[in-house]
Amino acid sequence: MSSSGRLRAPVLLPPALEVSYDTDERGHPTVTAVVNLGEDYQGPPGSVHGGYLAAMFDNLLGILPYRLTGSRGTFTGRLTVRYRALTPLNKDLVLTGKVTDARSRRVTATGQCHADGVLTAEAEGLFVRPASDRR
């Protein structure tokens, strides 16, 4: 026999990221952000909920097409996150991102999250400008 109930959903948005910008050897933009998440962002005990990591990667990597092309109208076409280790709460998390390919209206970017030098998650995103954007 089944039972029903309510699952309490978190009410927090991912944190705003303070981002620093640079360029790689090809002149493509790179981004770095450092964030420290407390218990409100908990998923597994003592660890960040993976959904918050995915949202932070979407925000961080989504900046790169604009930095590359100046187009503000890019959309996330695909975002894949690989969770490599538990991401601890109350530690500085260093998120980095870079452009790996840019063709026509499509920009691919990758990112990583490190805590105390340990890779905890990595992401790849495809970002697309609308066809009406001719830049």
Whole-angstrom Cα distance, residue 34 to residue 60? 11
Whether 58 and 125 have beta carbons less than 8 Å apart is answered as yes
Q: What domain range includes position 82?
A: 19-128
Whether 31 and 19 have beta carbons less than 8 Å apart is answered as yes
Whole-angstrom Cα distance, residue 85 to residue 29? 27
- Tell me whether residue 6 is in a domain: no
What global pTM score does this model have? 0.86
What are 114's two structure tokens? 């490190």
Exposure string of 82-105, with b = 16+ CB inside 10 Å and e = fewer, is ebeebbbbebebebbbbbeebeeb
Mean pLDDT, rounded, of the chain: 88
What are 102's two structure tokens? 């840019």
Whether 97 and 65 have beta carbons less than 8 Å apart is answered as no
Mean pLDDT for the stretch of residues 18-25: 91
Return the pLDDT at 98.
Answer: 95
- Tell me whether residue 86 is in a domain: yes
State the Rg of the chain over Cα: 17
CATH number of domain containing 63:
3.10.129.10
Whole-angstrom Cα distance, residue 119 to residue 94? 10
- Tell me whether residue 65 is in a domain: yes
Count of structural domains within the chain: 1
- Tell me whether residue 11 is in a domain: no
Q: Between 40 and 123, whose confidence is greater? A: 123
CB neighbourhood size of 33 (10 A)? 21
pLDDT tens per residue across span 61-105: 998 888 877 766 789 999 999 999 999 999 999 999 999 998 888
- Tell me whether residue 109 is in a domain: yes
